[in-house]
Amino acid sequence: MTEHSDSDREPSTGGSPLSAGERYHLNEGTLRRLWQVLGAQVQAGGTRFALWAPNASAAAVVGDFNHWDAAANPMHPLGDSGLWETFVPGVGEGACYKYRLLDRRGAELPLKSDPVAFGSEHPPQTASVVRDIGGYGWHDSAWMADRAGRNDRSAPISIYEVHLGSWRRRAAEDNRMLSYREAAEELVEYVADLGFTHLEFLPLSEHPFDGSWGYQPVGLYAPTIRHGPPHEFRDLVDAAHRRGLGVLLDWVPAHFPADEHGLARFDGTALYEHEDPRQGFHPDWNTLIYNFGRREVANFLLSNALYWLEEYHVDGLRVDAVASMLYLDYSRKAGEWLPNRHGGRENLEAIDFLQRMNQLVYGEEPGIMTVAEESTAFPGVSRPVHDGGLGFGFKWNMGWMNDTLAYMAEDPVHRRYHHHKMTFGIHYAFSENFILPLSHDEVVHGKGSLYTRMPGDHAAKLANLRAYFGFQWGHPGKKLLFMGGEFAQPAEWAQAGELDWATAARPDHAGITRLVRDLNTLYRGTPALHRRDCEESGFRWLEANDAEHSLFAWLRFGEPGDPPVAVLCNFTPVERRDWRVGLPLAGRWREALNTDAALYGGGDCGNLGAIEATAEPHQGQPCSASVTLPPLSVLFFVPGES
């Protein structure tokens, strides 16, 4: 491979894919649609390849089309921009390729995949694949026009979280994963039937190792080939939209794996990562951390966020491991991290990056949502940037999840001593726009499934889980449930197989599925349960202090004119008769949902469909009613006859 100067650059056909202005904006970190000019751009008669590798002394594109011969298709530098390009006639859709680079001293580097590739080979093969991503015919215009209202914090948002590789397999076909097109039929219909509003996928960017679940991506611009090529992923999104489902993707800008074909020391230098391991190495995951302070690197990531939203009509991004980005000392001991310019532990460059990301995507794609997986008390995660926040639309409520799961794991006889774990979340429930997550992280690494974390025998576990889901759906905050939870899968999640569909068909477990469906239906159809999910005015305690009996009760409110909802919880296996609850209105209150109903596998204890409130003040309300609380149950009451 020989070096080339800018003076002898003669593209094989046409002009440079990057104008002088585009090159300037790339170097300034303001070329927002990077994917339109870098990577493998299919053109008439061939493909143009463009690459950023500023510290390489030579570059070439190699592949099946030139027998991996670096001398066949050398790349030409574009001045001092750090960009390289070449046009290869006859190369098109499906061609495998990599880049052969020499470092600044002329030493040959490992073959590198394209950072902006639109496709990759099936793992464990690592070559990039030319994909023409233009020309898709979308059929989701009605959804796109209406989605802003579906992603708003006043909307009902109930998310089914999915690892596509292990939701369902084809056992008769060597246990293969579903294709995107198969998921467009089977998964979409399943989730829509359960009443969820959104599908959230664990990362679908290309990644070399199945066991990472996608959280160590190498090809940020490539939908993983495990399920099909890019257009078929679009088929899945399109199908979801036409069925009334939003699509969220887990997105990983926090770190990347050190695989030699990836971004690590891409041009012989720490190009994408920090040189100093105190800033550039992540001890928890043995990964590398992006240099958010480098303009071109931040632009690479910002452009990628916009790419998924624009090119694939994705409705939102859930940003993984935000806490690890915010703090320089995350998982580090004293002496293993470098303070910021003010001497503090906050990663100012990462904070600026996240703020810019949220400003960009909300500005360019109105109606989308961004979600932060952030496990600390960092202030203003879902506050607008102009108010000093990070600018996310929503934040996962990790504290609520930890506290309530710990409470539910207690034997009911001991729950009186842990009562505050169920009430503490209200103290901060409205400080952010929260999503209540029962996610994949809670059913792996020896934690067991949600089912196994409930106390008691089989029947008690199911009753506890039914009550817990009732508590979650009645509590302020949007909802998220990882696949398998909807039928109380007994086994811990394993990414190498599929969900336990045989158990899902059993009547006792199918009752949990019916409950989740009915909770979603009630949540979506009852404004008081979602319109003020993120506002203190939408919630009022009726009973928060009855630790002795493990009872809780509260009211939910929507906008003026929306009927209120009373939510009553009994977390002991003891039936409570003639329990008086305060209510804001006299008259009949319909039992809209009872988690102990026989339909769900319960004992069918309750109130014969309704209670009658009279003008007897109680619990700070002008009226009250006598109620029967079934064992291990949650009840929802709404005023009215129907």
- Angstrom distance (rounded) from CA 129 to CA 118: 7
Distance, CA of 125 to CA of 64 (rounded, Å): 13
What does the alpha-carbon distance between residue 170 and residue 245 come to, in Å, rounded to a whole number? 24
135: alpha, beta or left? (left if phi > 0; alpha if psi -120 to 50):
left
Distances (CA, A) of 124 to 116, 256, 446, 495, 566: 19, 17, 27, 17, 54
Catalytic one of 373, 374, 498, 591: 373
Query: What type of residue is 552?
Result: F
Helix (H, G, I), strand (E, B) or coil at 459: helix
- Cis geometry, peptide bond prior to residue 124 (ω within 30 degrees of 0): yes
Catalytic residue flag (residue 373): yes
Work out the number of other CB atoms within 10 angstroms of the CB of residue 354: 26
- Give the active site residue among 320, 374, 498, 533: 320
Q: Which residues of 421-430 are buried (b: 16+ CB within 10 A; e: fewer)?
A: bbbebbeebb
**What's the CA angle centered on 426, arms 425 and 431, to 5 degrees?**
90
C-alpha 470/C-alpha 634 separation (Å) is: 6
Token digits for 502?
């045989």
Query: In which element (H, E) is residue 84 found?
Result: strand 83-89
Looking at this protein, which amino acid is placed at residue 124? P
Q: Where are the alpha helices (DSSP H) in 287-419?
A: 295-311, 322-326, 348-364, 398-409
Told to judge if 296 belongs to the known catalytic residues of this protein, a careful annotator would answer no
Count other C-beta atoms under 10 Å from residue 210's C-beta. Answer: 16
Residues with active-site annotation: 320, 373
